[in-house]
Structure 1
């Protein structure tokens, strides 16, 4: 995520009092930074002055006028608590106020992870297997209490066919998601796993290469098929880096030890369902990418990539 230091970074009074309540004795907030890159939440990095004269960082996540804020924050808090000690590099939970009992808005306070999101085309060949291995590790988590069942993000009746799209391919794709969902073996899902929610340490000219330092934004945590998480990351890769990369991710996931649906028709269902869901929110998805420096990813450019990707899915898997 990208930071800035303007007045928007200021923490509101009730929220600041709540944050202070959860600090160690003698600690105080000495700096705040607004973090850009999220779609639904306001994010701020808080630099905390410690008693010994040092500092540590926390992240404050607040939902302003978001309908599902309570549910999402409860799910994220549960996920962060669950992931502690699992080896999955997620933030640590400090405190949560899902109903804005103490804060101006529903909020969550968590530890800050080092690293940054990397959305550039350069180096993707190296990062792709790292993403795949990380997702396999997430799916290996076995929670004592399952999160709620996944919710589909689109229906056949709400798909928005892009202008100039291959209408025959899109009609066939829409027919795919009219069918009942295939049976599946449930897994612990991140549900919004993609490069924008993965932090990397990318040391300059290091022979060790990049490594993943964190996975963030666990508000959509669900129970469902591994194929659904893989499909979601695949669509993001297709729109960010080109359709060929989206088609490659499932293979990388299996090479990392992940298990997907055995039947091609079942894989197609999940891949198509996720791709078509993006048709309804291309502008919303593309804007944070442009703010992060991918200025060429206009809404129209992303729509065009979505069309090519959806058509390629139907050609390759249909």
Structure 2
């Protein structure tokens, strides 16, 4: 076995565990680190097959074990229920959520072709594809519901960016102090955004672009469709500019998705999502810079977040 770099090396117990889930005559011939994630170590494993070919697997390892069991159980459950649905998700190979066999909680899944695309060029085409894909996810009716969603922020934990419009932010915080609007539950990805969607490498920006995979189901949940839409909208607003948040919501409805009937309810979820990002701007911006968007410094993302939250509040006025 060869490593792409030292960090790609798979730990001994985990290596043995992976080996037990390979077919007879197969072996790991290469490992490499996959960048862009925040919560877990990700490695691509190239598997040599008996006929001389290769296939790919992905190993997710949670070194920080605080939420590992819950998140790995959620992901394993989601990948299982997505099998055969047409949603291009990885196939589950094995999971060790409590590190009974591995050094750390781990999940092994199939590798999907394609790559993430975070460029501005061709964005309108990708927004339409993202919206259609999310509508397809929300249309699923699983026999067993995943756990209820967990809110990612509270009125008391919001971090107002330096130099922000304090009046707008105070009003936004007041919005999420209100009771949660009623909603019809849907299967949520819960972190559906460009960093977790793979596109055909040959056509990432052209009319022929297509989605080849939706990954990172570790926080799959049951909750309002608005929450997934709001989360992706905020990501797009921070990646590409505040105007892209509302555009994604429009594209979702154009694709047949159904959001809350009342404008105030839709805005509740959008404001809640925007404020949640205030607590993790640095964590969000770092993988974007590592992926080539070097201009997205923490400060630049904070400024876009302020502009987006302010725009949301202006829309409520």
TM-score (normalised: structure 2): 0.98
CA contact (8 A) 2:190 2:219 kept: yes
Paired residue for 1:264?
Answer: 263
CA contact (8 A) 2:204 2:210 kept: no
In 2, Cα distance between equivalents of 1:155 and 1:5: 42
Paired residue for 1:57?
Answer: 56
CA contact (8 A) 1:40 1:66 kept: no
Paired residue for 1:120?
Answer: 119
CA contact (8 A) 2:122 2:205 kept: no
1:230-269 to 2 correspondences below 5 Å: 230-269=229-268
Go from structure 1 to structure 2 and tell me whether the alpha carbon gap of 1:44 and 1:208 turns closer, same or farther (over 3 Å shift): same
Total equivalences in the alignment:
315
- Counterpart secondary structure, 1:188: strand
Q: CA deviation at 1:207?
A: 6.7
- Counterpart secondary structure, 1:157: coil
Paired residue for 2:136?
Answer: 137
Point out where structure 2 has 5 or more consecutive residues left out of the alignment.
Answer: none
- Counterpart secondary structure, 1:217: coil
C-alpha root-mean-square deviation of aligned residues, in Å? Answer: 1.2
Paired residue for 2:191?
Answer: 192
In 1, Cα distance between equivalents of 2:230 and 2:206: 31
Paired residue for 2:174?
Answer: 175
In 1, Cα distance between equivalents of 2:227 and 2:204: 35
- Counterpart secondary structure, 2:108: strand
- Counterpart secondary structure, 1:102: coil
CA contact (8 A) 1:201 1:210 kept: yes
Q: CA deviation at 1:247?
A: 1.6
Paired residue for 1:213?
Answer: 212
Paired residue for 1:90?
Answer: 89
TM-score (normalised: structure 1): 0.97
Paired residue for 2:70?
Answer: 71
Paired residue for 1:35?
Answer: 34
In 2, Cα distance between equivalents of 1:173 and 1:49: 54
- Counterpart secondary structure, 1:96: strand
Go from structure 1 to structure 2 and tell me whether the alpha carbon gap of 1:52 and 1:70 turns closer, same or farther (over 3 Å shift): same
CA contact (8 A) 2:125 2:205 kept: no
Residues 1:26 and 2:25 are matched in the alignment: yes
